[in-house]
Amino acid sequence: MGRPVLPVALACAALSCGMLLSACGGGKAARAEIPPASQRQWATLAPADPASANSVLMRAISLVGTPYRYGGNTPQAGFDCSGLINYVYRDMLDLALPRTTRDLAAVQGPRIAPERLSPGDLVFFGSRGSVTHAGIYVGEGRFVHAPSSGGTVRLDHLDGHYWRDHYSGARRVL
């Protein structure tokens, strides 16, 4: 069998260390906070390919703190949400995915209910039937994404007020 998927607790510990180190430099990163614990009980579903999921999660989490940039698709230039997803899957698995959020949402693969998410799934957000944002699910109700102008790549909870209200589905690409 493959290696186990990176536990979210370990990922959060790594993120916390990075945030503490970034606090020394000042700026917005110094005020960043780890999201509160999720209210929902999240099932732990193993990915079909644990080794691939693990590499995707490790790379995505390593990019936390990278600046947001519309149209960005590299760590040096910054990322928008679909650029982050594209970069991680291409860099770690040599998997070419569509570049836009709308095209990512249309990728063939099963639609996933929130309680059936597995690490490495793509999660989507929007309103009125339009998908406007995406991230990479890491487990225990958390996902990595590049949220908005002026922000940085970060780890958030699906149960966060905005994300819970705008969740529009997920796709399994692994």
Q: How many CB atoms lie within 10 A of CB 96?
A: 9
Per-residue burial over 122-159, b = 16 or more CB atoms within 10 Å of its CB, e = otherwise: bbbbbeeeebebbbbbbbbbbbbbbbeeeebbbbbbbb
Do 120 and 52 contact (CB within 8 A), yes or no? yes
Place of tokens 């970034």: 22
| 73-74 and 122-127 strand pairing | unpaired
As annotated, the active-site residues are 81, 133, 145
